[in-house]
Amino acid sequence: MNLEDLKNRNISERDYINIQDNSSLETPWQEFKQVFKRSIKGELFTGLKITFIMMKEALFNKQMHTVQYPAEKLPIGPRYRAVHKLLALLESGENRCIGCGLCEKICISDCIRMDTRIDENSRKEVLEYTINFGRCIFCGYCAEVCPELAIVHGGRYENAGEQRAHFVVKDDLLTPLDKLAQQQEYEGFGAVSPDADEKIKKTPLEY
Amino acid sequence: METSIIIETIVKAIVILAVFSAIAGFTTYIERKILAFMQRRLGPTNVGPYGLLQIVCDGIKLFTKEDFIPQNAVKPIFMIAPIITAATAFIAMTAVPFFPEFEVFGYTIRPIIADINVGVLFVMGVASVGLYGPLLAGMSSGNKWALLGGARTAIQLLSYEVVSGLALLAPLMLVGSLSLIDINEYQSAGFTSWIIWTQPLAFILFVMAGFAETNRTPFDLLEHEAEIVAGYATEYSGMRWGMFFIGEYANLFTISFLISLIFLGGYNDLWFIPGGLAIILKVSFLIFFFLWTRASWPHVRPDQLMWLCWKILMPLAVVNILLTGAFVMIVGSLG
Protein backbone atom coordinates (compact mmCIF):
# COMPACT_ATOMS: atom_id res chain seq x y z
CA MET A 1 0.00 0.00 0.00
CA ASN A 2 1.54 3.31 -1.02
CA LEU A 3 1.07 6.59 0.81
CA GLU A 4 -1.79 7.81 -1.37
CA ASP A 5 -3.73 4.62 -0.72
CA LEU A 6 -3.03 4.89 2.97
CA LYS A 7 -4.38 8.43 3.20
CA ASN A 8 -7.33 7.60 1.05
CA ARG A 9 -8.74 4.44 2.44
CA ASN A 10 -12.45 4.59 2.55
CA ILE A 11 -13.31 0.95 2.85
CA SER A 12 -16.92 1.48 1.95
CA GLU A 13 -15.85 2.72 -1.47
CA ARG A 14 -13.00 0.37 -2.19
CA ASP A 15 -13.65 -3.26 -1.46
CA TYR A 16 -17.37 -3.43 -1.05
CA ILE A 17 -20.02 -3.29 -3.71
CA ASN A 18 -22.87 -1.07 -2.65
CA ILE A 19 -25.95 -3.06 -3.48
CA GLN A 20 -28.56 -0.60 -2.33
CA ASP A 21 -28.29 2.97 -3.43
CA ASN A 22 -29.97 5.66 -1.46
CA SER A 23 -32.49 6.71 -4.04
CA SER A 24 -35.88 5.93 -2.61
CA LEU A 25 -38.57 4.43 -4.73
CA GLU A 26 -41.33 6.95 -5.21
CA THR A 27 -43.95 5.51 -7.46
CA PRO A 28 -45.51 2.05 -7.26
CA TRP A 29 -44.31 1.48 -10.81
CA GLN A 30 -40.68 1.93 -9.74
CA GLU A 31 -41.26 -0.44 -6.86
CA PHE A 32 -42.77 -2.97 -9.23
CA LYS A 33 -39.83 -2.66 -11.57
CA GLN A 34 -37.39 -3.24 -8.72
CA VAL A 35 -39.27 -6.29 -7.50
CA PHE A 36 -39.47 -7.69 -11.01
CA LYS A 37 -35.79 -7.07 -11.67
CA ARG A 38 -34.76 -8.76 -8.46
CA SER A 39 -37.08 -11.70 -9.03
CA ILE A 40 -35.67 -12.62 -12.43
CA LYS A 41 -32.06 -11.87 -11.49
CA GLY A 42 -31.59 -15.29 -9.94
CA GLU A 43 -29.71 -14.11 -6.86
CA LEU A 44 -31.32 -16.83 -4.80
CA PHE A 45 -30.08 -19.51 -7.15
CA THR A 46 -26.57 -18.07 -7.01
CA GLY A 47 -26.75 -18.62 -3.25
CA LEU A 48 -27.87 -22.21 -3.79
CA LYS A 49 -25.01 -22.74 -6.22
CA ILE A 50 -22.43 -21.45 -3.75
CA THR A 51 -23.61 -23.70 -0.94
CA PHE A 52 -23.73 -26.67 -3.30
CA ILE A 53 -20.14 -26.08 -4.40
CA MET A 54 -19.18 -25.77 -0.74
CA MET A 55 -20.80 -29.12 0.00
CA LYS A 56 -19.12 -30.75 -3.00
CA GLU A 57 -15.71 -29.51 -1.90
CA ALA A 58 -16.34 -30.59 1.68
CA LEU A 59 -17.47 -34.07 0.69
CA PHE A 60 -14.96 -34.90 -2.03
CA ASN A 61 -11.96 -32.67 -1.35
CA LYS A 62 -12.18 -32.77 2.45
CA GLN A 63 -12.08 -29.00 2.77
CA MET A 64 -13.31 -28.70 6.33
CA HIS A 65 -12.74 -26.06 8.92
CA THR A 66 -13.51 -28.29 11.88
CA VAL A 67 -10.87 -28.77 14.57
CA GLN A 68 -11.52 -31.88 16.66
CA TYR A 69 -10.74 -29.93 19.79
CA PRO A 70 -9.64 -32.24 22.60
CA ALA A 71 -7.73 -34.45 20.18
CA GLU A 72 -6.39 -31.68 17.98
CA LYS A 73 -5.36 -28.20 19.08
CA LEU A 74 -4.76 -24.99 17.23
CA PRO A 75 -1.32 -23.38 17.64
CA ILE A 76 -1.20 -20.52 20.11
CA GLY A 77 0.60 -17.27 19.37
CA PRO A 78 4.11 -17.12 20.91
CA ARG A 79 3.24 -14.01 22.90
CA TYR A 80 0.06 -15.40 24.35
CA ARG A 81 -0.05 -14.93 28.12
CA ALA A 82 -1.62 -17.90 29.80
CA VAL A 83 -1.01 -19.84 33.02
CA HIS A 84 2.24 -18.92 34.78
CA LYS A 85 5.27 -21.13 34.80
CA LEU A 86 7.92 -21.01 37.50
CA LEU A 87 11.23 -21.69 35.87
CA ALA A 88 14.02 -23.68 37.49
CA LEU A 89 17.74 -23.08 37.52
CA LEU A 90 19.37 -25.13 34.83
CA GLU A 91 22.27 -26.16 37.04
CA SER A 92 20.48 -27.37 40.15
CA GLY A 93 16.85 -27.66 39.26
CA GLU A 94 16.00 -25.32 42.12
CA ASN A 95 13.40 -22.64 41.72
CA ARG A 96 14.93 -19.47 40.37
CA CYS A 97 12.86 -17.29 42.62
CA ILE A 98 14.96 -15.22 45.00
CA GLY A 99 12.01 -14.10 47.06
CA CYS A 100 12.30 -10.44 46.18
CA GLY A 101 8.54 -9.99 46.35
CA LEU A 102 8.24 -7.70 43.33
CA CYS A 103 5.62 -9.83 41.66
CA GLU A 104 3.57 -9.87 44.82
CA LYS A 105 3.82 -6.12 45.07
CA ILE A 106 2.95 -5.32 41.45
CA CYS A 107 0.11 -7.79 41.14
CA ILE A 108 -2.94 -5.62 40.44
CA SER A 109 -5.45 -8.30 41.27
CA ASP A 110 -3.67 -9.33 44.45
CA CYS A 111 -3.47 -12.96 43.53
CA ILE A 112 0.21 -13.66 44.21
CA ARG A 113 1.32 -14.32 47.74
CA MET A 114 4.71 -15.43 49.01
CA ASP A 115 6.17 -16.26 52.39
CA THR A 116 9.90 -15.91 52.85
CA ARG A 117 12.44 -16.20 55.62
CA ILE A 118 16.18 -15.83 56.05
CA ASP A 119 17.65 -19.30 56.31
CA GLU A 120 20.71 -20.46 58.25
CA ASN A 121 23.08 -19.40 55.43
CA SER A 122 21.54 -15.91 55.69
CA ARG A 123 20.02 -16.34 52.25
CA LYS A 124 16.44 -15.60 51.51
CA GLU A 125 14.34 -18.72 51.13
CA VAL A 126 10.85 -18.93 49.68
CA LEU A 127 8.62 -20.98 51.94
CA GLU A 128 5.36 -20.64 50.16
CA TYR A 129 4.47 -19.27 46.75
CA THR A 130 0.85 -19.21 45.59
CA ILE A 131 -0.91 -17.74 42.60
CA ASN A 132 -4.68 -17.71 42.84
CA PHE A 133 -5.81 -18.29 39.27
CA GLY A 134 -9.36 -17.67 40.30
CA ARG A 135 -8.38 -14.02 40.66
CA CYS A 136 -5.56 -13.66 38.16
CA ILE A 137 -6.36 -11.50 35.14
CA PHE A 138 -3.23 -12.58 33.22
CA CYS A 139 -1.97 -9.02 32.81
CA GLY A 140 1.64 -10.18 32.70
CA TYR A 141 3.08 -7.61 35.11
CA CYS A 142 4.57 -10.28 37.39
CA ALA A 143 6.58 -11.78 34.54
CA GLU A 144 7.65 -8.31 33.47
CA VAL A 145 9.06 -7.23 36.84
CA CYS A 146 10.70 -10.52 37.80
CA PRO A 147 14.46 -9.77 37.85
CA GLU A 148 15.42 -13.44 37.64
CA LEU A 149 12.94 -14.53 34.97
CA ALA A 150 11.69 -17.02 37.49
CA ILE A 151 8.06 -16.45 36.66
CA VAL A 152 6.93 -16.38 33.03
CA HIS A 153 3.72 -17.05 31.20
CA GLY A 154 3.32 -20.37 29.49
CA GLY A 155 0.96 -21.42 26.74
CA ARG A 156 -1.39 -23.63 28.74
CA TYR A 157 -4.80 -22.11 28.14
CA GLU A 158 -7.17 -24.81 29.37
CA ASN A 159 -7.86 -23.48 32.83
CA ALA A 160 -11.00 -25.29 33.86
CA GLY A 161 -10.86 -26.66 37.39
CA GLU A 162 -13.21 -28.38 39.76
CA GLN A 163 -12.19 -26.53 42.91
CA ARG A 164 -10.66 -23.20 43.74
CA ALA A 165 -7.84 -25.02 45.48
CA HIS A 166 -6.76 -26.44 42.15
CA PHE A 167 -5.70 -23.05 40.97
CA VAL A 168 -2.89 -22.57 43.50
CA VAL A 169 -0.65 -25.60 43.21
CA LYS A 170 2.97 -24.56 42.91
CA ASP A 171 4.16 -28.02 41.88
CA ASP A 172 2.18 -27.76 38.68
CA LEU A 173 3.90 -24.55 37.76
CA LEU A 174 7.51 -25.33 38.52
CA THR A 175 9.34 -27.17 35.78
CA PRO A 176 9.78 -30.77 36.99
CA LEU A 177 13.36 -32.02 37.37
CA ASP A 178 13.13 -34.63 34.65
CA LYS A 179 11.79 -32.07 32.17
CA LEU A 180 14.56 -29.61 32.89
CA ALA A 181 16.26 -30.17 29.56
CA GLN A 182 13.07 -29.13 27.77
CA GLN A 183 12.70 -25.91 29.70
CA GLN A 184 12.36 -23.03 27.30
CA GLU A 185 14.23 -19.87 28.05
CA TYR A 186 12.80 -16.41 27.63
CA GLU A 187 14.98 -13.60 26.44
CA GLY A 188 15.39 -10.72 28.77
CA PHE A 189 17.10 -9.72 31.94
CA GLY A 190 18.45 -12.72 33.77
CA ALA A 191 17.99 -15.12 30.92
CA VAL A 192 20.71 -17.56 29.96
CA SER A 193 22.28 -16.25 26.78
CA PRO A 194 22.27 -18.50 23.71
CA ASP A 195 26.07 -18.82 23.80
CA ALA A 196 26.16 -19.51 27.54
CA ASP A 197 28.29 -22.66 27.15
CA GLU A 198 31.20 -20.78 25.55
CA LYS A 199 31.15 -18.08 28.17
CA ILE A 200 31.61 -20.44 31.09
CA LYS A 201 35.11 -20.14 32.58
CA LYS A 202 36.63 -22.14 35.33
CA THR A 203 36.66 -20.30 38.62
CA PRO A 204 40.01 -19.91 40.41
CA LEU A 205 39.05 -22.52 42.96
CA GLU A 206 38.81 -25.13 40.21
CA TYR A 207 42.51 -24.88 39.41
CA MET B 1 -63.87 -59.23 5.08
CA GLU B 2 -64.72 -56.41 7.45
CA THR B 3 -62.23 -57.51 10.13
CA SER B 4 -59.45 -57.92 7.58
CA ILE B 5 -59.85 -54.28 6.51
CA ILE B 6 -59.78 -53.13 10.13
CA ILE B 7 -56.65 -55.15 10.87
CA GLU B 8 -55.01 -53.98 7.67
CA THR B 9 -55.78 -50.33 8.47
CA ILE B 10 -54.43 -50.66 12.00
CA VAL B 11 -51.25 -52.29 10.75
CA LYS B 12 -50.79 -49.59 8.13
CA ALA B 13 -51.36 -46.84 10.70
CA ILE B 14 -48.80 -48.35 13.07
CA VAL B 15 -46.29 -48.83 10.27
CA ILE B 16 -46.67 -45.23 9.09
CA LEU B 17 -46.42 -43.92 12.65
CA ALA B 18 -43.32 -45.97 13.38
CA VAL B 19 -41.61 -45.34 10.05
CA PHE B 20 -42.17 -41.61 10.00
CA SER B 21 -41.20 -41.12 13.65
CA ALA B 22 -37.96 -42.95 12.88
CA ILE B 23 -37.45 -40.98 9.68
CA ALA B 24 -38.06 -37.73 11.57
CA GLY B 25 -35.22 -38.66 13.90
CA PHE B 26 -33.03 -39.64 10.99
CA THR B 27 -33.82 -36.39 9.17
CA THR B 28 -32.49 -34.37 12.11
CA TYR B 29 -29.20 -36.23 11.61
CA ILE B 30 -29.22 -35.71 7.84
CA GLU B 31 -30.09 -32.05 8.33
CA ARG B 32 -27.17 -31.51 10.68
CA LYS B 33 -24.80 -33.32 8.34
CA ILE B 34 -25.89 -31.49 5.19
CA LEU B 35 -25.88 -28.09 6.88
CA ALA B 36 -22.43 -28.90 8.24
CA PHE B 37 -21.02 -29.86 4.85
CA MET B 38 -22.46 -26.75 3.26
CA GLN B 39 -20.73 -24.66 5.89
CA ARG B 40 -17.52 -26.71 5.80
CA ARG B 41 -17.96 -28.31 9.19
CA LEU B 42 -18.21 -31.98 10.06
CA GLY B 43 -21.44 -32.22 12.00
CA PRO B 44 -21.91 -35.09 14.46
CA THR B 45 -18.94 -37.46 14.24
CA ASN B 46 -18.08 -38.70 17.68
CA VAL B 47 -20.93 -41.08 18.52
CA GLY B 48 -20.91 -44.21 16.43
CA PRO B 49 -19.84 -44.54 12.78
CA TYR B 50 -20.16 -41.13 11.08
CA GLY B 51 -22.00 -39.95 14.19
CA LEU B 52 -25.03 -42.10 13.37
CA LEU B 53 -25.73 -42.99 16.99
CA GLN B 54 -26.25 -39.29 17.66
CA ILE B 55 -29.94 -39.95 16.92
CA VAL B 56 -30.07 -42.44 19.79
CA CYS B 57 -28.34 -40.00 22.10
CA ASP B 58 -30.74 -37.23 21.16
CA GLY B 59 -33.66 -39.58 21.72
CA ILE B 60 -32.43 -40.60 25.17
CA LYS B 61 -31.86 -36.98 26.05
CA LEU B 62 -35.30 -35.88 24.88
CA PHE B 63 -37.07 -38.67 26.75
CA THR B 64 -35.21 -38.22 30.02
CA LYS B 65 -35.03 -34.44 30.14
CA GLU B 66 -37.10 -32.69 32.76
CA ASP B 67 -40.54 -31.78 31.49
CA PHE B 68 -40.76 -28.19 32.61
CA ILE B 69 -43.97 -26.20 32.86
CA PRO B 70 -43.62 -22.49 33.65
CA GLN B 71 -45.49 -21.04 36.60
CA ASN B 72 -47.72 -18.66 34.68
CA ALA B 73 -48.45 -21.01 31.80
CA VAL B 74 -51.99 -22.18 31.14
CA LYS B 75 -51.17 -25.71 32.12
CA PRO B 76 -53.64 -27.94 30.20
CA ILE B 77 -53.25 -26.00 26.95
CA PHE B 78 -49.51 -25.85 27.37
CA MET B 79 -49.45 -29.62 27.72
CA ILE B 80 -51.80 -30.35 24.82
CA ALA B 81 -50.25 -28.02 22.23
CA PRO B 82 -47.32 -30.25 21.13
CA ILE B 83 -49.68 -33.21 20.86
CA ILE B 84 -51.83 -31.23 18.42
CA THR B 85 -48.83 -30.53 16.20
CA ALA B 86 -47.60 -34.13 16.18
CA ALA B 87 -51.06 -35.68 15.89
CA THR B 88 -52.29 -33.51 13.01
CA ALA B 89 -49.03 -34.06 11.17
CA PHE B 90 -49.61 -37.82 11.29
CA ILE B 91 -53.37 -37.63 10.67
CA ALA B 92 -52.66 -35.68 7.48
CA MET B 93 -50.73 -38.69 6.21
CA THR B 94 -53.77 -40.97 6.23
CA ALA B 95 -54.93 -39.76 2.84
CA VAL B 96 -51.53 -39.74 1.17
CA PRO B 97 -50.74 -42.69 -1.13
CA PHE B 98 -47.07 -43.33 -0.51
CA PHE B 99 -46.33 -46.07 -3.03
CA PRO B 100 -48.02 -47.90 -5.89
CA GLU B 101 -50.00 -51.02 -5.04
CA PHE B 102 -47.93 -54.11 -4.47
CA GLU B 103 -48.61 -57.76 -3.69
CA VAL B 104 -47.35 -59.71 -0.71
CA PHE B 105 -48.17 -63.46 -0.68
CA GLY B 106 -50.94 -62.89 -3.20
CA TYR B 107 -52.55 -60.23 -1.05
CA THR B 108 -52.78 -56.78 -2.68
CA ILE B 109 -51.68 -53.99 -0.38
CA ARG B 110 -52.57 -50.42 -1.15
CA PRO B 111 -50.16 -48.16 0.76
CA ILE B 112 -52.77 -45.58 1.70
CA ILE B 113 -54.71 -45.75 4.95
CA ALA B 114 -57.94 -44.17 3.76
CA ASP B 115 -58.57 -43.73 0.06
CA ILE B 116 -61.07 -40.91 0.36
CA ASN B 117 -62.10 -39.11 -2.78
CA VAL B 118 -61.28 -35.68 -1.33
CA GLY B 119 -57.69 -36.58 -0.45
CA VAL B 120 -56.08 -33.21 -1.17
CA LEU B 121 -58.77 -31.34 0.72
CA PHE B 122 -58.38 -33.64 3.72
CA VAL B 123 -54.59 -33.34 3.82
CA MET B 124 -54.62 -29.55 3.48
CA GLY B 125 -57.44 -29.27 6.02
CA VAL B 126 -55.76 -31.38 8.69
CA ALA B 127 -52.42 -29.72 8.05
CA SER B 128 -54.03 -26.35 8.66
CA VAL B 129 -55.50 -27.60 11.95
CA GLY B 130 -51.84 -28.14 12.83
CA LEU B 131 -51.43 -24.39 13.18
CA TYR B 132 -53.24 -24.66 16.51
CA GLY B 133 -50.17 -26.40 17.92
CA PRO B 134 -47.72 -23.48 17.72
CA LEU B 135 -50.51 -20.94 18.21
CA LEU B 136 -51.77 -22.42 21.48
CA ALA B 137 -48.22 -23.16 22.61
CA GLY B 138 -47.22 -19.56 22.07
CA MET B 139 -50.30 -18.13 23.75
CA SER B 140 -50.27 -20.44 26.77
CA SER B 141 -46.57 -20.20 27.63
CA GLY B 142 -46.75 -17.00 29.67
CA ASN B 143 -43.69 -15.64 27.87
CA LYS B 144 -43.49 -12.66 25.55
CA TRP B 145 -41.21 -14.35 23.03
CA ALA B 146 -43.57 -17.30 22.88
CA LEU B 147 -46.50 -14.92 22.48
CA LEU B 148 -44.78 -13.21 19.55
CA GLY B 149 -44.12 -16.63 18.06
CA GLY B 150 -47.78 -17.49 18.48
CA ALA B 151 -48.85 -14.25 16.81
CA ARG B 152 -46.52 -14.95 13.92
CA THR B 153 -47.96 -18.44 13.64
CA ALA B 154 -51.36 -16.91 13.08
CA ILE B 155 -50.21 -14.49 10.36
CA GLN B 156 -47.82 -16.83 8.59
CA LEU B 157 -49.67 -20.13 8.53
CA LEU B 158 -53.09 -18.59 7.90
CA SER B 159 -51.82 -16.41 5.06
CA TYR B 160 -49.94 -19.15 3.32
CA GLU B 161 -52.90 -21.52 3.61
CA VAL B 162 -54.56 -19.15 1.15
CA VAL B 163 -51.64 -19.30 -1.27
CA SER B 164 -51.27 -23.06 -1.13
CA GLY B 165 -55.02 -23.59 -1.53
CA LEU B 166 -55.27 -21.25 -4.51
CA ALA B 167 -52.11 -22.67 -6.06
CA LEU B 168 -53.51 -26.20 -5.85
CA LEU B 169 -56.79 -25.15 -7.45
CA ALA B 170 -55.32 -24.76 -10.94
CA PRO B 171 -53.91 -28.30 -11.23
CA LEU B 172 -57.10 -29.64 -9.67
CA MET B 173 -59.08 -27.94 -12.44
CA LEU B 174 -57.01 -29.80 -15.01
CA VAL B 175 -57.33 -33.15 -13.27
CA GLY B 176 -60.94 -32.76 -12.22
CA SER B 177 -60.58 -34.74 -9.01
CA LEU B 178 -59.49 -34.15 -5.44
CA SER B 179 -58.28 -37.69 -4.94
CA LEU B 180 -54.50 -37.95 -4.83
CA ILE B 181 -54.69 -41.31 -6.59
CA ASP B 182 -56.61 -39.75 -9.49
CA ILE B 183 -54.09 -36.91 -9.65
CA ASN B 184 -51.34 -39.50 -9.80
CA GLU B 185 -53.12 -41.46 -12.55
CA TYR B 186 -53.46 -38.25 -14.58
CA GLN B 187 -49.66 -38.15 -14.90
CA SER B 188 -49.19 -41.82 -15.75
CA ALA B 189 -48.15 -41.15 -19.36
CA GLY B 190 -44.56 -40.51 -18.35
CA PHE B 191 -42.17 -37.63 -17.85
CA THR B 192 -43.91 -35.24 -20.25
CA SER B 193 -47.29 -35.65 -18.60
CA TRP B 194 -46.14 -34.25 -15.26
CA ILE B 195 -48.33 -31.37 -14.10
CA ILE B 196 -45.25 -29.23 -13.44
CA TRP B 197 -44.94 -28.68 -17.22
CA THR B 198 -48.49 -27.41 -17.58
CA GLN B 199 -48.62 -25.61 -14.20
CA PRO B 200 -45.09 -24.31 -13.48
CA LEU B 201 -46.41 -21.21 -11.68
CA ALA B 202 -48.65 -23.28 -9.40
CA PHE B 203 -45.66 -25.52 -8.63
CA ILE B 204 -43.48 -22.57 -7.58
CA LEU B 205 -46.29 -21.05 -5.51
CA PHE B 206 -47.08 -24.35 -3.81
CA VAL B 207 -43.42 -25.00 -2.97
CA MET B 208 -43.09 -21.53 -1.48
CA ALA B 209 -46.27 -21.99 0.53
CA GLY B 210 -44.92 -25.38 1.58
CA PHE B 211 -41.84 -23.69 3.02
CA ALA B 212 -44.04 -21.34 5.02
CA GLU B 213 -46.49 -23.98 6.20
CA THR B 214 -43.88 -26.46 7.31
CA ASN B 215 -42.00 -23.65 9.03
CA ARG B 216 -38.77 -24.17 7.12
CA THR B 217 -35.98 -21.67 7.13
CA PRO B 218 -36.48 -18.82 4.74
CA PHE B 219 -39.95 -18.53 6.29
CA ASP B 220 -39.53 -19.87 9.82
CA LEU B 221 -40.68 -16.80 11.67
CA LEU B 222 -42.47 -18.88 14.30
CA GLU B 223 -39.25 -19.69 16.06
CA HIS B 224 -36.86 -17.18 14.59
CA GLU B 225 -33.91 -17.68 17.00
CA ALA B 226 -32.24 -14.43 16.03
CA GLU B 227 -35.29 -12.36 16.85
CA ILE B 228 -37.53 -14.10 19.34
CA VAL B 229 -35.34 -16.65 21.18
CA ALA B 230 -37.15 -19.78 20.01
CA GLY B 231 -40.60 -18.36 19.40
CA TYR B 232 -43.49 -20.58 20.39
CA ALA B 233 -41.11 -23.32 21.60
CA THR B 234 -39.20 -21.09 24.03
CA GLU B 235 -40.65 -22.62 27.19
CA TYR B 236 -40.75 -26.22 25.99
CA SER B 237 -38.29 -28.87 27.02
CA GLY B 238 -37.87 -32.61 26.78
CA MET B 239 -40.30 -34.70 24.79
CA ARG B 240 -42.90 -31.94 24.46
CA TRP B 241 -40.34 -29.95 22.51
CA GLY B 242 -39.44 -33.15 20.69
CA MET B 243 -43.04 -33.64 19.60
CA PHE B 244 -43.07 -30.23 17.92
CA PHE B 245 -40.09 -31.32 15.90
CA ILE B 246 -41.41 -34.76 15.06
CA GLY B 247 -44.52 -32.93 13.87
CA GLU B 248 -42.45 -30.48 11.87
CA TYR B 249 -40.50 -33.23 10.13
CA ALA B 250 -43.66 -35.28 9.55
CA ASN B 251 -45.21 -32.18 7.94
CA LEU B 252 -42.08 -31.80 5.85
CA PHE B 253 -42.52 -35.33 4.54
CA THR B 254 -46.24 -34.83 3.92
CA ILE B 255 -45.61 -31.69 1.90
CA SER B 256 -42.78 -33.38 -0.03
CA PHE B 257 -45.07 -36.31 -0.86
CA LEU B 258 -47.82 -33.87 -1.88
CA ILE B 259 -45.48 -31.94 -4.19
CA SER B 260 -44.21 -35.19 -5.74
CA LEU B 261 -47.70 -36.59 -6.17
CA ILE B 262 -49.36 -33.47 -7.54
CA PHE B 263 -46.64 -31.91 -9.66
CA LEU B 264 -43.80 -34.36 -10.21
CA GLY B 265 -45.56 -37.43 -11.53
CA GLY B 266 -46.14 -39.23 -8.25
CA TYR B 267 -45.41 -42.93 -8.06
CA ASN B 268 -45.69 -43.62 -11.75
CA ASP B 269 -42.85 -45.55 -13.33
CA LEU B 270 -40.16 -43.21 -14.66
CA TRP B 271 -38.27 -44.65 -17.65
CA PHE B 272 -36.57 -47.70 -16.16
CA ILE B 273 -37.10 -46.67 -12.50
CA PRO B 274 -40.00 -48.47 -10.81
CA GLY B 275 -42.66 -46.22 -9.30
CA GLY B 276 -41.90 -46.97 -5.65
CA LEU B 277 -38.28 -45.97 -6.08
CA ALA B 278 -39.18 -42.97 -8.25
CA ILE B 279 -41.29 -41.36 -5.55
CA ILE B 280 -38.63 -42.04 -2.90
CA LEU B 281 -36.08 -40.30 -5.11
CA LYS B 282 -38.39 -37.34 -5.69
CA VAL B 283 -39.17 -36.98 -1.99
CA SER B 284 -35.50 -37.32 -1.06
CA PHE B 285 -34.60 -34.61 -3.53
CA LEU B 286 -37.30 -32.32 -2.17
CA ILE B 287 -36.14 -32.92 1.43
CA PHE B 288 -32.59 -32.16 0.28
CA PHE B 289 -33.87 -29.02 -1.39
CA PHE B 290 -35.54 -27.93 1.86
CA LEU B 291 -32.26 -28.43 3.73
CA TRP B 292 -30.27 -26.83 0.93
CA THR B 293 -32.27 -23.62 1.06
CA ARG B 294 -31.90 -23.61 4.83
CA ALA B 295 -28.13 -23.54 4.41
CA SER B 296 -28.23 -20.89 1.68
CA TRP B 297 -30.92 -18.32 2.22
CA PRO B 298 -31.42 -15.77 4.99
CA HIS B 299 -34.61 -15.29 6.98
CA VAL B 300 -37.15 -12.73 5.85
CA ARG B 301 -38.83 -10.16 8.06
CA PRO B 302 -42.47 -10.66 9.00
CA ASP B 303 -43.55 -7.63 6.98
CA GLN B 304 -41.64 -8.92 3.94
CA LEU B 305 -43.30 -12.28 4.41
CA MET B 306 -46.79 -10.77 4.48
CA TRP B 307 -45.95 -8.49 1.57
CA LEU B 308 -44.77 -11.48 -0.44
CA CYS B 309 -47.86 -13.47 0.43
CA TRP B 310 -50.61 -10.94 -0.19
CA LYS B 311 -49.11 -8.69 -2.85
CA ILE B 312 -47.20 -11.19 -4.97
CA LEU B 313 -48.11 -14.83 -4.44
CA MET B 314 -51.85 -14.50 -3.88
CA PRO B 315 -52.48 -12.35 -6.99
CA LEU B 316 -50.24 -14.64 -9.04
CA ALA B 317 -52.22 -17.64 -7.84
CA VAL B 318 -55.50 -15.96 -8.80
CA VAL B 319 -54.13 -15.03 -12.23
CA ASN B 320 -52.96 -18.60 -12.67
CA ILE B 321 -56.44 -19.89 -11.85
CA LEU B 322 -58.03 -17.46 -14.32
CA LEU B 323 -55.61 -18.47 -17.08
CA THR B 324 -56.14 -22.17 -16.38
CA GLY B 325 -59.91 -21.67 -16.34
CA ALA B 326 -59.84 -19.84 -19.66
CA PHE B 327 -57.59 -22.51 -21.13
CA VAL B 328 -59.82 -25.35 -19.92
CA MET B 329 -62.91 -23.56 -21.25
CA ILE B 330 -61.41 -22.90 -24.69
CA VAL B 331 -60.03 -26.42 -25.06
CA GLY B 332 -63.35 -27.81 -23.84
CA SER B 333 -65.38 -25.77 -26.36
CA LEU B 334 -63.06 -26.71 -29.21
CA GLY B 335 -62.94 -30.41 -28.62
Q: How far apart are CA B33 and CA B40, in angstroms?
A: 10
Rounded mean pLDDT of B112-131? 84
Give the pLDDT confidence of A52-81 residue by residue, as tens digits. 888 888 888 887 888 888 888 887 777 778
Q: Which of A44, A59, A74 is the last residue of a domain?
A: A59
Nearest to B296 among A35, A48, A59 (CB): A48
Rounded mean pLDDT of A41-50? 84
Give the pLDDT confidence of B92-111 residue by residue, as tens digits. 888 888 777 777 776 777 77
My answer on whether A138 and A46 are in the same domain is no
Alpha carbon separation from B113 to B6, B99, B130, B233 (Å, rounded): 10, 12, 19, 31
CA distance B40 to chain A (A): 5
CA distance A163 to chain B (A): 27
**CATH code of residue A132:** 3.30.70.3270
> What's the domain count of chain A?
2
Q: How far apart are CA A15 and CA B297, in angstroms?
A: 23
Rounded mean pLDDT of A119-148? 82
Q: At residue A93, what are phi and psi to the nearest 5 degrees?
A: 80, 5
Give the pLDDT confidence of B174-198 residue by residue, as tens digits. 888 888 888 888 888 777 888 888 8
Closest to B259 measured CA to CA, from B275, B279, B277: B279
My answer on whether A42 and A131 are in the same domain is no
CA distance B314 to chain A (A): 15
Give the pLDDT confidence of A158-195 residue by residue, as tens digits. 767 666 666 655 566 655 656 666 666 656 545 566 77
Q: Is B185 exposed, middle or buried (0-12, 13-18, 19+ CB in 10 A)?
A: middle
Find the closest chain A residue to B311 by CA distance: A32
Q: How far apart are CA A53 and CA A56, in angstroms?
A: 5
pLDDT of residue A17: 67
Domain boundaries, chain B: 2-334
Better pLDDT: B261 or B113: B261
Give the pLDDT confidence of B67-78 residue by residue, as tens digits. 888 888 888 998
Contacts with B243 (C-beta within 8 Å, 6 or more apart), sequence order: B82, B83, B85, B86
pLDDT of residue A21: 63
Q: Is the pLDDT of residue A82 over 60?
A: yes
Segment 47-76 of chain A within 8 Å of chain B by CB: 47-48, 50-52, 54-55, 57-59, 63-66, 68
Task: Answer yes or no: are the C-beta atoms of B264 and B104 closer than 8 Å.
Answer: no
Q: How far apart are CA B33 and CA B24, in angstroms?
A: 14
- Residue type for A127, please? L
pLDDT of residue B217: 79
**Is the pTM here over 0.80, yes or no?**
no
My answer on whether A91 and A182 are in the same domain is yes
Would A173 be classed as within a structural domain? yes
Would A99 be classed as within a structural domain? yes
- Treating both helix axes as pointing N-terminal to C-terminal, what angle do B314-334 and B144-175 enclose, rounded to 10 degrees? 10
Would A186 be classed as within a structural domain? yes
pLDDT of residue A171: 62
How much is the mean pLDDT over chain A?
Answer: 76
Query: Which of the given ranges, B45-54, B223-232, B282-291, has the highest pLDDT on average?
Result: B282-291
The residue range of the domain holding A152 is 84-192
Better pLDDT: B204 or B117: B204
Would A7 be classed as within a structural domain? no
Task: Answer yes or no: are the C-beta atoms of A64 and B36 closer than 8 Å.
Answer: no
How much is the mean pLDDT over chain B?
Answer: 85
My answer on whether A106 and A52 are in the same domain is no
pLDDT of residue B322: 92
Q: Which residues of B261-294 are buried (b: 16+ CB within 10 A; e: fewer)?
A: bbbbbbbbebeeeebeebbeebbeebbebbbbbb
Q: Is the pLDDT of residue A14 over 70?
A: no
Rounded mean pLDDT of B193-206? 86
